[in-house]
Amino acid sequence: MNTTSFLELEYQTLRKEVEDANTRAFQLIIGGAAIIPTIQSIASSYKLEIITLTLPLFVLTIIMLYLAQDMAIARCGRYIREKIEPAIGEGIGWETWLNQTNRKDKYRPRAYDNFVFYGFCLLAGLYYICSVLMATRVAESYLSITGIYILIIGYVVLGIVIIFLIYSSGRALVGPKAKDSPR
């Protein structure tokens, strides 16, 4: 197999991975938006307070799974832009074009991606806050005030960890200043 054939095959494989990761990310968004309220509804209907207490962990799991898909997409795009496109050397490739920051037409190709990402973060944040509030309300009938504070502190720490992961993933830096941003 020659280098050109290898690069072409690698490119096709990575584009397929991006397509699959996009599908999984979309399923997580839709599934999370439907599953979390369904879980809470079942927990309320059948008086399963333990589920309400763990609901923030379900939300965090969906967030982590979504972030994993988003970072996989970014890694594939970065590899295509940095390794495959320069090796071919036939002008600007798709990933390079998407990441141009000195555009004369002011068109931002990544704007939709960013909108979806930050929309997911906003929705997930609201779900997380609501699930923590519901868990706290349930905990009031089972735990002492000290236990409630420990529970709240634990959920706040987990929320901060997620915010840190989102920030450190490079997504918080996407924009005109981020020439080296993966997305």
Could you read off the pLDDT of 20-74 as tens digits, one per residue? 999 999 999 999 899 999 999 999 999 999 999 999 999 999 999 999 999 999 8
Task: Decide if 67 is inside a domain.
Answer: yes
| Six token digits for residue 2 | 């020659």
| Alpha-carbon distances of 151 from 56, 57, 156, 162, rounded to whole Å | 11, 12, 9, 17
Mean pLDDT of the region 141-167: 92
Least confident span in 101-105, 118-122, 153-157, 179-183: 179-183
In a domain, 137, yes or no: yes
d(CA 39, CA 44): 9
Alpha helices of the chain — where are they, by DSSP H? 3-45, 49-79, 85-88, 94-98, 111-139, 145-168
Mean pLDDT over each residue of the chain, to the nearest integer: 86
Q: What's the pLDDT at 138?
A: 92
Report if residue 144 sits inside a domain: yes
pLDDT at position 105 is 65
The answer to whether residue 36 sits within a structural domain is yes
Task: Tell me if 180 is assigned to some domain.
Answer: no
Rounded Cα distance, 103 and 5, in Å:
32
Instruction: Count up the domains in the chain and report the number.
Output: 1
Record the pTM.
0.82
For residue 147, give both structure tokens.
């236990």
Provide the pLDDT confidence category of residue 177 given band limits of 50, 70 and 90.
very low
CB 39 within 8 A of CB 51: yes
In a domain, 182, yes or no: no
Cα 137 from Cα 127, distance rounded (Å): 15
183 in a domain, yes or no?
no
Gap between the Cα atoms of 174 and 118, Å rounded: 11
